[in-house]
Structure 1
């Protein structure tokens, strides 16, 4: 017990010597910490972005639903510049409703971006106004908090009614119910008949709770858009366990309706929850590979900088080391001091790197690419990686210092 206490006291003194040395050699300390910081910044982005991608994937799948497909006009996977994206027509929607096995809901959609909404003295720029047929809330599994969805009659007549997202309603109406109120979209008056429940999902720099949904016919008529074609279709099926069959049936029917021959590319894109998961997986993989290489290189560079500077430090501090050994310092305390110095510098670099990494992560979040959230896992992984680099690259210079002969070191000869 007594020996253990004496060892701890000795280590405390050695740690104090290490702190003094780090402060005395400021330029060396800055170089080492900066090198480690770059690697830890990349490592922080890797861990937080992968966690964020997983959360985003689960959000998307939950919102998308396992029983639906989303069909976009144009082949977004291999679209040539200038190639048509408006390839889905009202006839496609009609035939899908009539002939697609297992389908029970087909809802065409189109969107108009960046429209100013006004109510009373308040205004808000809506990132998107969606035009849809009836059953928008049902087809997207998005219940109404109050009011009703618009009907087939509303679509047929192009009535000026709409649904409003929760965030848009809060900003325009505050605590008031929006039902029955008239919102101006540009110069178009829209009576709010339903308020969508809060969803909390964001992407592309905006929240889906900021949108409004109006009849597709109203959107195309009032904003002078092509009335024959629309941008997307949402289709829901019975028997979600047979989604692969549903997808193939949808593809075959649309290719037939569009007169596509064997060997010709699709002029549409079918997305499912599985497709979205694959895309998120590719995104995660790309981030891990790119940032992993960056982190590894930066950490190795930081480690080599640390080792080289410590070798130089040993040669510069031979007299100090010789004096300590002459006064009774053991080899292991000399080794421990240099390892403490390495650990202090790499931990400082880790803390700086985590700050940089979180800053980069916030930039990704603002771009709507991923949600970055700091966690205890990031903290532990960053610190343990930094300490490992310090020990691995600092051990040889530390041992070299410990092996110095006291007399030769006092003369400044080092051996």
Structure 2
């Protein structure tokens, strides 16, 4: 027991001595060490952006799916997947909506929708251009599970009277009214006076562009929208269908598709003139986008890490050549070859670990810039430092092992003479 403890104590002291010598060697070559660490940092920065952005994209995808609703389907006119030339996008009618509501099993709500883009809103001296004004039937907020901060939802009476009322999103509410309540105020929608009867809660999801969100909208009765803006009242662009049981969505989708094909007189083998979009479809699309982004950024990070590894290997070979006499003296004094190998590997690990810390900082800074520009959403987790340090140590071991073994294999006499190997 005493002999084992003595051996352990001796090994611990030797390890600390090797580590101390590695720190001294790195400190003595600051410029070279900074060059190696910087090269490694670029690869680690790319890895940091990848991990944070992919986690952010996954979180955003889950948030969007939750917002869309696992028990809902959005029916759009036209084939949005194949986009045939000259296709009609106004293919959904009121008869479709009534038939779905009356005949399709498990339906909870059917909400037809139209929209008008680029509409000017005015209130007193303030103006704001909205990317979209949505026309809907009653219970718009309820059907989208969109809470109202204040006021009420659209009603059947609003629809029947083509009432000049609206729900206002968070963005135009703040732009026109600031912190004041918009409830009961009258705004001009392309010179049409409309009273605000409800304010929608902030959602924050990206909408039609990188600088717009679903909050950049107002919602008015679909009858008001079509009449006041001279739109064809027979058709509408979209239809939200909400079901009672989300566990039966596959059956609901099949039944809905079959019903619409029958309604539109589409024969066997002919393409649909409508598109069905469910939460699972959105998740599949976002997963494909995330996967493509992961592959692209992964290749970029791999190249950057390889570059850092080659820089480390080349400078370590140079260091071995310059320190031949030091290595020869250590071996002549009895240092075993494995101790020399471990010392050089420790030097490599110190440099790459420093590069990992720098890379994490650079990656987070770069990610914050991209996030502020609306290009990425970052989610910082414990995986980032763990993966970064693991990658850094992997670089040190893979690219530093051969130079370290070359140092350990030097003949002490030849090294002290300054001759070749």
Asked if the contact 1:69/1:235 (under 8 Å) is kept, the reply is: yes
Q: Which of 196, 199, 213 is the matching residue for 2:203?
A: 199
Structure 1 unpaired stretches of 5+: none
The Cα shift of 1:142 comes to 1.4
* Corresponding residue number in structure 1 for 2:259: 253
Mapped contact 1:165–1:210 kept (Cα < 8 A): yes
Per-residue Cα deviation, 1:221-278 (whole angstroms, up to 9, x for no partner): 4444443332211011233322212111111121122222211221211111222222
- 1:386 and 2:392 aligned: yes
Residue 23 of structure 1: which of 20, 30, 34 is its match?
30
2-structure distance, mates of 1:352, 1:52: 22
Corresponding pairs, count: 412
Aligned to 1:170: 174
Given candidates 137, 146, 150, the residue that maps to 2:150 is 146
Deviates more, 1:273-282 or 1:219-228: 219-228
Alpha-carbon separation, structure 2, partners of 1:410 and 1:16: 23
Offset of 1:177 from its aligned partner?
Answer: 2.0
More divergent stretch after superposition (50-59 vs 116-125): 116-125
Task: Give CA deviations for 1:95-130 in whole Å, capped at 9, x if unaligned.
Answer: 322332322321111233343433334444434322
- Shift of residue 355, structure 1, vs aligned partner: 4.5
State the distance in 1 between where 2:64 and 2:178 align. Answer: 28
Q: Distance in 2 between matches of 1:81 and 1:324?
A: 78
Query: What's the counterpart of residue 43 of structure 2?
Result: 39
Counterpart Cα distance in 2 of 1:322 and 1:292: 42
Deviates more, 1:392-401 or 1:353-362: 353-362
Q: Is the 8 A contact 2:166 2:221 kept in 1?
A: yes
Distance in 1, matches of 2:124 and 2:355, equals 53
- Cross-structure match for 1:13: 20
Match in the other structure for 2:59: 55
Q: Aligned equivalents of 1:246 and 1:394: distance in 2?
A: 59
For 1:330 and 1:114, how far apart are their aligned partners in 2? 77
Deviation at 1:94, TM superposition (A): 2.8
Q: Which residue of 2 aligns with 1:347?
A: 353
Residues 22 and 345 of structure 1 are in contact (CA less than 8 Å); yes or no, is this contact kept in structure 2? no
Q: Which residue of 1 aligns with 2:419?
A: 413
Of 294, 301, 306, the residue aligned with 1:300 is 306
Q: Matched residue of 1:404: which SS? A: coil
Q: Corresponding residue for 1:211?
A: 217
Q: The residue matched to 1:395 in structure 2 has which SS?
A: helix
Q: Report the equivalent of 1:180.
A: 184
Q: Separation in 2 of the partners of 1:185 and 1:353?
A: 50
Question: 1:334, 1:185 → 2: CA distance?
Answer: 78
Residues 354 and 221 of structure 1: is their aligned pair in 2 closer, same or farther, counting only changes over 3 Å?
farther
Distance 1:41 1:72, change over 3 A: farther
1:162 CA drift (Å) = 0.5
Q: Distance in 2 between matches of 1:36 and 1:316?
A: 23
What TM-score do the two structures reach when normalised by structure 2? Answer: 0.86
In structure 2, how many angstroms separate the alpha carbons of the residues matched to 1:309 and 1:156?
79
Contact 2:22 2:344 in 1 (8 A): no
Question: How far, CA to CA, are the matches of 2:28 and 2:119 in structure 1?
Answer: 62
Counterparts of 2:358 and 2:224, CA distance in 1: 54
Distance in 2, Cα, partners of 1:120 & 1:3 = 84
Equivalent positions of 1:265-276 (< 5 A) are 265-276=271-282
In structure 2, relative to structure 1, the CA distance for the partners of 1:81 and 1:178 (3 Å cut) is same
Cα distance in structure 1, aligned partners of 2:297 and 2:224:
47
Question: TM-score, normalised to structure 1's length?
Answer: 0.87
Distance 1:230 1:356, change over 3 A: farther
